[in-house]
Amino acid sequence: MLKLYNSLSRAIETFKPIKKSEVGFYSCGPTVYDNVHVGNLRTLILADVLHRVLKFDGLKINFVMNITDVGHLTSDGDSGQDKMEKNAKTVEDVMAVAKKYTDAFLADIKAINILTPDQLPKASDHIKEQIEMIQSLIDKGFAYESTDAVYFDISKAKDYTKLIGQNLEDMKLGARQEVVKDPNKHNDHDFVLWFKTVGRYEHHIQRWQSPWGEGFPGWHIECSAMSRKYLGDHFDLHVGGVDLKFPHHTNEIAQSEGFSGKQFVNYWIHGEHLLIDQGKMAKSEGNFMTLQTVIDKGINPLAYRYLTLTSHYRSKLNFTWDSLTAAQNALNNLYQEISSYPNEGKTIQEFSAAFKDAVNDDLDMPKGIAIMWDMIKSDNSEQDKLATIFEFDKVLGLDLEKVWMTNKEIPVEVSNLVKDRDNARTVRDFAKSDEIRKQLEEKGYEVDDTPDGTKLKKKFR
């Protein structure tokens, strides 16, 4: 039974899907005006681990992740330029930027083995759905039109701050959430559903016709409109970074529950920050690092995935190059260890059950990784260890089967060298056998002389 920490109840709960046939699962996706940073990827790995654990438990999932390619402003009061439109002159320019960074995003998630979402809807393809929802919110008295925008009236929402569990007055707001006093708003915290292309947004490039004149949607409404379209008014799981709890997820709840009159999401799962040398990682801080930075240092992107699995998703993870190098070494040791294992074994029940318990216990991946190493070090047969670790890798996502398969194919020149070395050893020509050992090492192989004969291992360094 899967247990998860639900931000809404601030407690660990047993996960009970709404429908047995399919779990509805939504994750906030990237804003495609730049590359995502490794902190964003940590949250996406959390979503992926949850996705994989649900599958591991035999559930069917409909996993939806949005692509924000419309007007992502730092806040409703942001008078700066829309990040999507930086350096752009036409709609085509904006869409070219969106395409470039959507492709880069998809390449990134593939490189760290995030299972492809079932749906990847783009905000720009769902303007109609957003307008319909805004109109309905106006009709129901949750929203109002002003001279420059359509606003959501937070005083109409039932328990607006239930996700953060504190009053607005008691909250410490970050720069991004600063309240701008605006005479057009009924309440200071009312947020924009639709920006009119007047005043400060007169020159906004992306714009659509609406009942309130030309304009473009606010950031929050896209997630409410797209999750509704693909998952319905009420669904199971919503994942995101802890920094999205307020205002983004808080506003999604207010809009969706105002619209439908029903509970929006049953379980809200939030991943903690990645710190870079103890500092908060954010684009606005100018210290953001992408997956390409990791690749450029000659590090396997999966070493980053491994690193994130060694800390619990609800703890801050401090990234250093030393910790990433240690993760890369651990992953290489694992690859090397399993590369010589024979196949056709059976899963080891004791370890398989312990692993399943750990990952179902609020996604305790550090414990899962520890169980994996205990299993590797145990005195079970190598073929049974291989079968067991392939089972674990359905959740770990470290390409173990692929790496093992690739290393089964030993080049002819390597196997000939092994034979020559065996012959040399038979005639006790140790100088020659040592010479061949060196040649094998240069080719990336290590030989072990065991009572059962020579064992060859590929070296991962």
How far is the C-alpha of 36 from the C-alpha of 44, rounded, in Å?
Answer: 11
CA distances from 11 to 64, 163, 266, 273, 319 (A): 25, 12, 13, 20, 28
- Rounded CA separation 398/43 (Å): 17
For residue 2, the Cα-to-chain-centroid distance in whole angstroms is: 19
C-beta of 28 vs 149, nearer to Zn ion: 28
Contacts (Cβ under 8 Å, ≥6 apart) of 292: 35
Question: Minimal distance in Å, beta carbon 64 to Zn ion?
Answer: 11
In angstroms, give the least distance from the CB of 372 to Zn ion: 33
- Residue whose structure tokens are 């047993």: 14
**Beta carbons of 191 and 258 less than 8 angstroms apart:** no
Size of the site for Zn ion (CB under 5 A): 2
Sort strands 265-271 and 3-6 into parallel, antiparallel or unpaired: unpaired
Nearer to Zn ion, 28 or 114 (CB): 28
Total Cβ atoms within 10 A of residue 69: 25
The distance of closest approach from Cβ of residue 144 to Zn ion in the complex, given in angstroms and rounded to an integer, is 23
Residue 45 or 223: which CB sits closer to Zn ion? 223
DSSP 180: P
Q: What is the tally of helices (H) and strands (E) in the chain?
A: 14, 15
Q: At closest approach, how far in Å is the CB of 367 from Zn ion?
A: 30
Q: Measured from the CB of residue 224, what is the shortest distance to Zn ion in angstroms?
A: 8
- E strand or H helix at 449: strand 445-450
Q: Which is nearer to Zn ion, 239 or 276 (CB)?
A: 239
Cite the DSSP H helix spans in 20-160: 38-56, 91-111, 127-139
Nearer to Zn ion, 221 or 400 (CB): 221
CB of 202 to Zn ion, least distance (A): 27
* Cβ nearer to Zn ion, comparing 30 with 397: 30
Give whichever of 223 and 348 is closer to Zn ion, judged by the CB atom: 223
DSSP letter assigned to residue 112? T
CB of 341 to Zn ion, least distance (A): 43
Stretch that binds Zn ion, among 24-32, 112-120, 131-139, 416-424 (CB under 5 A): 24-32
Query: What is the Cα–Cα distance from 192 to 160, expressed in whole angstroms?
Result: 15
Yes or no: say if 194 and 218 are a contact pair by the CB < 8 Å rule.
yes
Query: Which listed range, 129-137, 144-152, 182-190, 220-228, lies at the site for Zn ion (CB under 5 A)?
Result: 220-228
Minimum distance of Zn ion from residue 270's CB (angstroms) = 12
Binding part of the chain for Zn ion, among 218-226, 294-302, 311-319, 421-429 by CB under 5 A, reads 218-226
Closest to Zn ion by CB, 111 vs 254, is 254
- The residue among 161 and 360 lying less far from Zn ion, judged by its C-beta, is 161
Least distance CB 68 / Zn ion (angstroms): 8
Burial category of 352 from C-beta neighbours within 10 Å (exposed 0-12, middle 13-18, buried 19 and up): middle
Q: Does 28 bind Zn ion (CB under 5 A)?
A: yes
Q: CB 216 → Zn ion: shortest distance, Å?
A: 17
Binding to Zn ion, residues 91-150 (CB under 5 A): none
> Which of 1-9, 163-171, 176-184, 221-229 is the region at the interface with Zn ion (rule: CB under 5 A)?
221-229
Select 65 or 94, whichever has its Cβ closest to Zn ion.
Answer: 65
Tokens of 51: 């996705």
Q: Is 80 exposed, middle or buried (0-12, 13-18, 19+ CB in 10 A)?
A: exposed
Are 83 and 188 within 8 A, CB to CB?
A: no
Q: At closest approach, how far in Å is the CB of 248 from Zn ion?
A: 6
- Find the shortest distance in angstroms from Cβ 29 to Zn ion: 8
> Which stretches of 24-119 are DSSP H helices?
38-56, 91-111
Of 27 and 300, CB closest to Zn ion: 27
Distance between start and end Cα atoms, the chain: 39
* Choice between 27 and 206, CB closer to Zn ion: 27
Q: Segment contacting Zn ion (CB under 5 A): 102-110, 217-225, 278-286, 289-297?
A: 217-225
Residue 102: which of 62, 75, 70, 61 has the closest Cα? 70
- Chain positions 267 to 326 lying near Zn ion, rule: CB under 5 A, are none
What is the SS3 assignment for 67?
strand
d(CA 314, CA 273): 9
Q: Could you tell me if 441 and 459 are in contact, meaning their C-beta atoms sit under 8 angstroms apart?
A: yes
**Within positions 30 to 49, which residues make up the interface with Zn ion, using CB under 5 A?**
none
Binding interface with Zn ion (CB under 5 A): 28, 223
